[in-house]
Amino acid sequence: MSSLYWDDFERRIGETVDCLQTQRPVPVRRVAVFVTDKCNFRCHYCNVAFSHNTMPESVFRGIVDKYGDSAIIHITGGEPSLCSWLYPLIEQALGVRFHLNTNAFLTPPTNIKRLKVSLDTHKADYFNELTQRTSFNRVVNNIKLGCKYTVTSITCTLTRENYKDAPDFMKFCRDSFPGLYAVFFSIYKGTKPRFAFQDKDVETFFNDTRPLLQEQMDKESLNLFLETIDDKRRLLERMRFPENNHGTCYLSLSERVFDTHGNEYNCSHLYRDGIMHTDNNKHRKCLYGCNRRLVAFNEEVTQILKRRPE
């Protein structure tokens, strides 16, 4: 289960079990911070309700002071680069493990530990139309730069409009970004007819596109793909996975999420779906944003707890 992508799960499993059995708090190992609701792109498929809410620098510093010695600080938004104070602060905060999600229109800081950039197509004209900004060349150049100094990955949102191009997109990423860690494919979750998968699109993707896409993938991208798009239902917004919606989410014991006001929650996946979850029981929609690696974390903790004597 080791992977740079999901932050040392093997250690966190053992640590979680030991803490639960000795009735100690599980240390927080990952903190997702939504620093702003603003964005300089207006992607046609985006479901986010943008606002001018931006986290005050003092609140962010408080989060770093509280968790920065022991946890990864995963910065996201909105578009984090629109916080004028953020990138200078990151450059000065030596020793903190910052991870950054960004559209990379602005050049990211050089001392982040991991960089994840949104890129949904290899076609410049389509990307510029999709984002409603002349942005493709700048984003591509900043990804190339990121690959030189940190662990860099790309997130591509698959929609009914771009999924047939996914094999060519994957090849473009491998050819254009030497040192790229992985490409992660997510699924459009909304209902806009232009982007939402229909039943026939799902069949075409699994029967025709998916085999060609997998041929182009490196090992890590393939592993992430098989853990995330592992079932035809994953491509349909209306489908849920009720078979694992019970019990405790042990992963959330070691994770925190902060909104722009500094409010604290438990699950970044649910937060992205507009659900402000504050306890560790699984929400009925929890599997919608998860993948098999996250599910496996909970399953392994559960099995170890059952095997070990009290």
Give the model confidence (pLDDT) of 264-282 as tens digits: 998 888 887 777 888 887 7
Would you state the pLDDT for residue 101? 97
Q: What is the pLDDT of residues 207-231, one digit of tens each?
A: 999 999 999 999 999 999 998 888 8
Would you state the pLDDT for residue 246? 67
174 compared with 48, residue with greater pLDDT:
174
Mean pLDDT of all residues in 161-172: 98
Mean pLDDT of all residues in 8-29: 91
Q: Is the pLDDT of residue 284 over 90?
A: no
From CA 118, how far away is CA 251, in angstroms rounded? 25
Would you state the pLDDT for residue 243? 57
Would you state the pLDDT for residue 241? 57
Specify the 3-state DSSP secondary structure of 225.
helix
276 compared with 138, residue with greater pLDDT:
138
Half-sphere exposure of 310 (CA within 13 A, CB side): 1
Query: CB–CB of 259/271 below 8 Å?
Result: yes
Domain ranges within the chain, ordered by starting residue: 35-237
Would you state the pLDDT for residue 242? 58
Query: CB–CB of 149/185 below 8 Å?
Result: no
Would you state the pLDDT for residue 309? 66
Assessment of whether the complete model's pTM goes beyond 0.85: yes
Mean pLDDT of all residues in 274-294: 76
93 compared with 310, residue with greater pLDDT:
93
Would you state the pLDDT for residue 2? 42
DSSP letter at 186 equals E
Q: How confident is the model at residue 142 (pLDDT cuts 50, 70, 90)?
A: very high
- H or E segment at 185? strand 182-187
- H or E segment at 133? none
Query: CA triplet 207, 269, 47: central angle to 5 degrees?
Result: 75
Query: CA triplet 155, 70, 31: central angle to 5 degrees?
Result: 40
Average pLDDT, the chain: 90
Q: How confident is the model at residue 263 (pLDDT cuts 50, 70, 90)?
A: very high
Q: Is the pLDDT of residue 1 over 80?
A: no
Mean pLDDT of all residues in 155-170: 97
Q: Is the dihedral of CA 61, 63, 66, 72 positive or negative?
A: negative
Percent of the chain with pLDDT over 70: 93
Query: CB–CB of 54/35 below 8 Å?
Result: yes
157: burial class by Cβ within 10 Å (0-12, 13-18, 19+)?
buried
Would you state the pLDDT for residue 82? 96
Domain 35-237 has CATH 3.40.50.150: no
Q: What is the pLDDT of residues 297-306, one digit of tens each?
A: 888 998 999 8
Listed in sequence order, the residues at least 6 apart from 11 whose beta carbon sits closer than 8 Å to its beta carbon are: none
Would you state the pLDDT for residue 220? 93
Number of residues that make up the chain: 310
Which range, of 22-26, 33-37, 267-271, averages the lowest pLDDT?
267-271
Query: CB–CB of 75/98 below 8 Å?
Result: yes
Q: Is the pLDDT of residue 239 over 70?
A: no
Distances (CA, A) of 148 to 37, 120, 178: 29, 21, 8
